[in-house]
Amino acid sequence: MTLYNRVRAVTATTGTGTITLGEPVSGYFPFHADSNIGWAGVTDGDTVPYVIEDGNHFEIGKGAWSSSARTLTRLLSESSTGSLLSLSGRATAFISSNKDFLAGRERICVDDYYLAGDTYYNSAFTAALAACAVLGAALFIPGKSTVRNLNDTVTIPAGVAVFGDGYNSHVRQTAAEKNVFNLGSNCMVDRVRLEGDGLQTSIVDWTKNNGVFAQNVTGVSVTNSFFHGFRSAGVQIQDGVGCHVAGNLCYGNYYGQNNSSDIVFYSSTRGGSSSIVGNRCFSNNSQGIWCNPTGFDGDLAIVGNICITMNSSFAELASGSLSRRHGILVNYGSPGGRITVSGNVCKNTLITGIYTATSSGTKQKAIIITGNVCSKNGFAGAGASDSTLSGGITVNGGADLVQISDNAITDFRGNLTNAIGAITFNGYNGADSVFSDGCNILNNTIDTSTAYGIAINNNPVGKVNVRGNHIKRCTSSDIRCNPGSDWDADLYIEDNTCERSSNNIGSIYVDDGGATRRRYVRRNKIYGADRSTYDGSNNAAIHLRQATKFTVTDNHIEKFYFGVYYEDSVTGRVTTDYIIDRNHFDDVETAIRLRGASSAPMVILQDNTFETVGSMTNTDSGTAVGYIGRRQGAKVVVQTSAAPAVGTWVAGDRAEFTAPAAGAAPGAVCTTGGNPGTWKDEASLAA
């Protein structure tokens, strides 16, 4: 609003409508321009605070001035009658400051435009919002005990804020295929309660039946509000940039289709650079939060939300009562931008707590999933739709950088027949998903999984770090890596703590499919449940299969039948491809299991320590090929009771006898390589 000094004029207008202003009162300026006195007049389009006096009555408000028509609109703040004056034709109007102007209060109450007897509030909203757009005011929906019903969508003009008193600022959409509010750019909705039609049926057009819907917008803000009874979404923003959705409570929304969510960001051209913060998403629809399904919503922060599946009475749902598939779904089959998902709680879902995916041949720029709590996810049984994607957290596809860190996943309910875990990481076949900076699964806590703890599948073509995680009470392996032969990058499984509660499966399982890159399993602490039960390869701390190069070092292994179990047959002399060194084995039946299909193979096992161990090396079939010893350049030194009778050796290799005696040779030297080659005893010790 704008003030002008000493502007006062008469009006012959009658009634309650817009007034036409005439000549000035003596000693004052007119509203219109007057060149005779050098007066430029009120600027066309300006909103001014006015006072109208008509006899003993007054009206205070604000209005928009039209220079060409010499008219002033009327928007009431207060009056002597409590409503717009019905003018006599002999009134005066002047520009004057008032308490609303001085306090900077620019609001219009929707109830002031409601006509008694109207069934619906649509006309009141339309008229009030038109005034807001003209005057630059906000729309106020005061709290009251009765609901304001609509039978059509209300469109909020660009730049207009809508606010209320909270839960009792209640607006309900009674029409089935309508939204409550459609927002323009730079709109704000705050502290209101929006309710849908409440039908628990499917919906075809998901741009309808939303609490708030905005499309092709910038700067939209939806905060501190309540949304319930919708079949599409509580808040849906399409092609929105720079938007903010925070502090809202969404509950009792329904599964109208797979897209149905409490909060949606969906863009087909350009969106993102937005934040979704501190919302509570308690419905039993398809997702709590769904963002970036087509890859155009880049630079999103999804922080501090609570997505727990409940019924409309706020009772938690689980198992057979669930419709919700994902707590938070970020990206779905398309490339995307940089997205962080942190500090959220996701509980009671059929598929995942947090899910992100790209399609074959595409990748995201970066996805950071950190500090979240996911519980009771993966209730969908084997064979159910998308059950193979289950996880407390699932990343499905490629990205320049993936980081899954410092999350807590508890009571994961996935089915053991699927290759899924509390954390599931899937690449794509071939070289479709290229990770420029790899994938980091770091410092997560996993407590109880009916499937795997961490499952890595397909071909994530890039370095993968599984480091610092604490995993316990998993039905299947704590860490399972089955990437496939096309995975041409390193794998690091390091510094994890795994605690088994059963002996049915190996704790760390790597099935490399014959890939040629080295796999590292280092500095892990692995605690088993039973050393006495032999169940093939299952009761093993570390189980390796089809691995052509691996380094297994510095692990602490306790209470297993097998400490390290290499499933395949070793061929030839192996001094550097298979490294099993400096591990500590305690309360283990067989520390290291290696076998060969013939008598030729030989593998050196260096600097391992053994405490309460049945046998240091052994095999349950084939020929034992593991030798306690050490490497010395290209040569080896082994500890044996006599010169080796099998294995592939080269000249210069040495054997140190494990029970040297006075007057006998302490060892032997290979003088001619072969299987076993020629060995000569060293000089005898003194008698």
Over residues 360-378, the pLDDT tens digits come to: 555 567 789 999 999 999 9
- 124 pLDDT above the threshold of 80: yes
Share the mean pLDDT of the chain: 90
Judge contact between 86 and 126, C-beta under 8 A. no
Q: What's the confidence (pLDDT) of residue 485?
A: 64
**Residue 107: band (very low, low, confident or very high) from pLDDT cuts 50, 70, 90:** confident
Q: Is residue 311 packed enough to be buried (19+ CB in 10 Å), middle (13-18) or exposed (0-12)?
A: middle
Q: What's the confidence (pLDDT) of residue 339?
A: 87
**Residue 432: band (very low, low, confident or very high) from pLDDT cuts 50, 70, 90:** very low
Decide: helix, strand or coil at residue 100. helix
- 572 pLDDT above the threshold of 70: yes
Q: What is the pTM (predicted TM-score) of this model? A: 0.84
Interval 260-272 mean pLDDT: 88
Query: Distance between CA 616 and CA 593 in Å, rounded?
Result: 9
Q: What's the confidence (pLDDT) of residue 525?
A: 98
Judge contact between 578 and 606, C-beta under 8 A. no
- 146 pLDDT above the threshold of 70: yes
What are φ and ψ of residue 220, in 5° steps? -80, 140
Sorted by sequence, the CB contacts under 8 Å of residue 594 that are 6+ apart come out as 566, 570, 578, 603, 617, 619, 624, 625, 626
Q: What is the 8-class DSSP label of residue 310?
A: B
Interval 19-26 mean pLDDT: 94
Decide: helix, strand or coil at residue 324. coil
- 383 pLDDT above the threshold of 90: no
Q: Identify the bridge partners of residue 141 per DSSP, sorted by sequence position.
A: 164
Residue 434, CA atoms < 13 Å, CB-side half-sphere: 5
Q: Of 484 and 599, which is predicted with more confidence?
A: 599
- 295 pLDDT above the threshold of 80: no
- 80 pLDDT above the threshold of 80: yes
Query: Distance between CA 112 and CA 75 in Å, rounded?
Result: 10
Residue 641, CA atoms < 13 Å, CB-side half-sphere: 0
- 397 pLDDT above the threshold of 50: yes
pLDDT in tens, 40-60: 899 998 888 899 999 999 999
Q: Of 446 and 337, which is predicted with more confidence?
A: 446
- E-strand spans in 244-378? 244-246, 249-250, 261-266, 271-277, 280-281, 287-291, 297-303, 306-308, 326-330, 336-342, 345-347, 352-357, 363-370, 373-375
pLDDT in tens, 147-203: 999 999 999 999 999 999 999 999 999 999 999 999 999 999 999 999 999 988 888
Q: What's the confidence (pLDDT) of residue 430?
A: 41
- 1 pLDDT above the threshold of 70: no
Residue 424, CA atoms < 13 Å, CB-side half-sphere: 34
Query: Distance between CA 128 and CA 147 in Å, rounded?
Result: 18
Interval 586-595 mean pLDDT: 94
**Residue 204: band (very low, low, confident or very high) from pLDDT cuts 50, 70, 90:** confident
Residue type present at position 63: G
- 214 pLDDT above the threshold of 60: yes
Q: Is residue 579 packed enough to be buried (19+ CB in 10 Å), middle (13-18) or exposed (0-12)?
A: buried
